[in-house]
Chains A and B, each alone.
Chain A
Amino acid sequence: MLKVSIYRYNPEADKAPYMQDYELDTKGKDLMVLDVLELLKAEDPTLSFRRSCREGVCGSDGMNISGRNGLACTTPLSEAAPKGKLVLRPLPGLPVIRDLVVDMEQFYEQYKKIEPYLQNDTPAPAIERLQSPEDREKLDGLYECILCACCSTACPSFWWNPDKFIGPAGLLQAYRFLADSRDLATDERLSNLDDPFSVFRCHGIQNCVNVCPKGLNPTRAIGHIRNMLLTRAV
């Protein structure tokens, strides 16, 4: 039997959050954590969590799985509960709406700040703006981000200053547009990041790299942004 302990909180009924214990017969299968949640929800319909694609593409079911942020749909029990005990909590640092559902507003606010769209005032060519294969390659490891928030909510700097520090997810995307040969707003983008909080609250502890379910490296991207800021400033 698999023991599951889940963070429960319904602000309309509960005074404080609590951990609820469940037991589940997995019939020896190495289920994904999301499968466990679905099976438990069939028994207890009040259990709330977000999910959509169930294959690690939409980024809806980011949560804290046995102490480590990850996607429930791509994390197998053999990894999350090797000793038969699974602990599920909402992503740390964000306000809880209910059970495992968090309010992502602060996360999206930071994403919005980096203006995550191509900026180019020159007349658009007839077909599309072309890139050399080398320039296109620079976007690899950046564009794959699914904005699940696992990285930013694993970052202590984001916990302390979610209103000022862009966070690893936002900064990875900031660099995605700084590195894009078609984007012409590089200088404005850098000017918007040159304060003591937006980029420089990153102290390089690499929690983000450790948890990213897509295997991306925000710390490296932040290093590139810092180098661009330095090159411009000295």
Chain B
Amino acid sequence: MKPIVKIALLVVVLIAIGGLFAALYLYNLKPRDLQKAKPHFSISADDFQKAFNENEKAASTRYINKIIDVSGTIASVQSGEKNTFNVALKTGNELSSIICTFHSIKDTTILRSGNQIIIRGVCSGFLMDVLLNNCVVVKSWK
């Protein structure tokens, strides 16, 4: 075999292996750990709810799929299926809150009604409440 063919073959094989690893890496990629991420927006629970309540379309365009730091007071904590926790943050509207879902949280002692907290999550949109997913605690006051 000519050296040039050998090199070409080697390159092809290397690219194929690289591609395979890249594909495997992408395939196995876990949901982003927001603890290490920078938020796109920081907003109070009340302002966040108002934004969706007053103009859902504009708020959706602005906030959905974005990383948001929301500050507020915990209204309630509910444990869900498969070790999830839903924390609702108080807003000025009694019927509507910010619901933040934690998929893996180790220390749940800080999640108590009445506590002040800043939660980071990805905004999924608005049903009756503004919904955040993949949430982590940024800061909490007991």
Q: Do A and B come from one complex?
A: no
